[in-house]
A and B are shown apart, each in its own frame.
Chain A
């Protein structure tokens, strides 16, 4: 089945230790998104790619970086995680702007 896959489902890292979250898709969608979602809050858009064009939200901290080496894969790098970065990180894709977004299962990040 075509889908959006995020690895790992649960990630534990230490305060200040870099961590990378991954997302892959078999839908061949042009657009990929990274969201941060904290408990009982709306998803917060961090970045999105339209093909290789990278779009960074104005309020995304510099601590967060992203890479999209090809259509299928996208990575979220957190260079120096702080306690406030503990959250669910969601990857989503769609074919174009006015299309529903398809989400992966998310990675729940914990910071020790």
Chain B
């Protein structure tokens, strides 16, 4: 039972490079979320999705893009990496009604140099 799987676990990017953080879940959850967590800080919502084909901005969407072509996958795209995007990124999912336990991936530690 994999739950929520994020790849990669670690990545170093140079300023201006782009990359995609992958997130997939095998629980048939409709709701999926991307958060960033800076050192000693809480979770800030970047984007979320309530189902395939539907995405919306969270609290800190600038510099990021998402897509949701399937129920399982919710990739996060960084187009022009900036040092301010150095952070730990977590993907999460919840059940159809959005209530109940949120399942988190293990996180992706991204450093932009």
User: Is the pairing of A and B real?
Assistant: no
